[in-house]
Each structure stands twice: as structure tokens, then as C-alpha cells.
Amino acid sequence: MSGTTREESAAPAPEVRTLGVVGAGQMGGGIAHVAAASGLEVVLFDVQVGALDKARATVARNMERQVAKGTLDAAARDAALGRIALAPEMAALGACDLVVEAATEREELKARIYRDLAAHLRADAILATNTSSISVTRLAAATDRPERFVGMHFFNPVPVMQLVEVIRGIATADATVAAVEALAARMGKTTAVAEDFPGFIVNRILLPMINEAATALNEGVGTVAAIDTAMKLGTNQPMGPLQLADFIGLDTCLAILRVLQEGTGDPRYRPSPLLVKYVDAGWLGRKSGRGFYDYREDPPRPTR
């Protein structure tokens, strides 16, 4: 339990000028991209130097696409890339006003990161998690600053998706929420504030749809192509639920459904046996080359 008093927890949060990002994967790199493009100094940390180099190359490549499309000029691209510092040591995060943890969706890993961060962060720094489903209240309890801990859930791909879910844990101070909303606005994002319930807003609604699509496929209601075409054209969605599941990652979809099932005790969130089977086979979607579609072929071929 933190020893912070109510008066201290209600104190204004610092203006965010330097943003730390823990984890240089797809999400962490995307967060670093939009933060640097918005004028923030960014410290990107990962224990694997190779992951840092890969993230920087991906950010540079994505910014180059923006230059080609005319949404970013070359000078702004160069300046933004110059604002991203690669940090193989966690101590480099000590100068940050806010740190976003974007590690793999494993609670024990996140808790370990928070324990390690405690020795380096300033007392007034905010700590945010990019979790898509884990209880923010429970994660906050593993930190030394529950009042300055908040969910800041970006969506993939971060440079394209406009939403940031801001999730308030039971101890999160109003000033912390306000600071994160202001930061998201500076990064060109729109926020939706959610209370700390399983799945928050988007995944609470989205994952049952994906799960039902997998169940319909398993029962032979339609093929992969038929289900995705029907949902795209029948509900005016940019991609069908099975294609979207592949994009998210079937392992991530399964993990969120299990959080929903465990957190609510409601059997309607029971994962589709077909989804479980695909994950067991290592067919995780685009990132593994196969999921509901086979991405080793061009165009991707439905696997059912």
C-alpha cells in the first residue's frame, strides 16, 4: 500500500515533456512514433538491443510512408526520429515525466517491470499501462504509486488508430487521468474514459463478436470468406471479424476472452474451441503467417 496522502495524490501531475516507453514491440514502437511526431522527447527501453534497433527501423519506415503520402514533411520526420532515444538500461527512464509500459500481456511480467522501475522513476512521475484487459486496479497495487497509475490503452496500429482508452483504477487520482487525457490529445488521439471492469469498453464489446464468428465458423454456418464478407458489407465494417482477429493476434484474443470469462464468471465469454485449437497449433494470425487466413500466399487464402 502506498504511503501517499490524499493531498499528495490530488496534487497536479507534471506536464509531460519526456515520455518513456517500456517494450519496443509493435505497440511500444507505435507509441514512440506518435509521441515523437507530436514533439515529445521519447526514451524507448527494451532489454533486447535488437528489439530497439528493429523498432527504430520500423518507425523510420512508417514515417517515410507518411512523407510519401504528404502527411509529414521530411524535416519533421528527421526531427521526430531525433527525439527518440534508445535505452538498453532502465535507469534512462528516470528523467521521464510519464512512462507507458507496453510489455507482453502477462500480469507477472508487468508486475516485475513495475518493481524494477520503482528504483528509477521520479516520485511525481506517472506510470501507465497499455494493457488491453488486465485489471488496472490490480496492476496498480503492484506499484509504488497507485494514485499515479492509470491504464492508457492504445490500439494497433498506433499511428493510424485514433482512440486511446483511459482506464481509471480504484486509486487513480483525478490529476493523473487529466494528465493522460491531455497527453493523448497532444498526440492527436481521442480518449474514452473507462472504469476498471474486465475488457474495459472496446474489448468487452469486440471480443464476443470475434468469438461468435469463430463459433459460427466451427459450426459450419459459413466459411471464413462468407463470414467476413457478410460482416463487412452487412454491418459496414472495414474488415471482417476473423480478419480482424488475425490482425490482433489469436493468442491475444484468447487471452482477453479468458480474462473476461474469469473476471465476470459469465459463460458467454467461454472461448470458441476452434479459437483455442488455432492457438494451440501456433496459428496466431498475421504475425505467425497463419490464422483464419494463410498469409504465406498472396492474396491470403482462407484456411477454412
To the query of whether residue 132 is one of the catalytic residues in this protein, the response is: yes
- Spell 109-136 as b/e; 16+ CB within 10 A means b: ebbebbeebeebbeeebbbbbbbbbbbb
The DSSP letter of residue 132 is: S
Q: Give start and end residues of each alpha helix (H) in the chain.
A: 6-9, 26-37, 49-69, 74-82, 107-117, 136-140, 174-186, 202-218, 224-235, 241-248, 250-264, 273-280
* Cα dihedral across residues 134, 110, 104, 180: positive or negative: positive
Provide the 3-class DSSP secondary structure of residue 14: coil
Provide the 3-class DSSP secondary structure of residue 284: coil
Query: Pick the catalytic residue: 62, 203, 211, 272?
Result: 203
Query: Pick the catalytic residue: 153, 181, 211, 272?
Result: 153
Query: Pick the catalytic residue: 105, 147, 165, 181?
Result: 165
To the query of whether residue 2 is one of the catalytic residues in this protein, the response is: no
56 neighbors 97 (Cβ within 8 angstroms): no
Provide the 3-class DSSP secondary structure of residue 42: strand
154 neighbors 190 (Cβ within 8 angstroms): no
To the query of whether residue 9 is one of the catalytic residues in this protein, the response is: no
| Cis preceding linkage at 299, omega within 30 | yes
Query: Pick the catalytic residue: 62, 130, 132, 135?
Result: 132
**Catalytic positions, please?**
132, 153, 165, 203
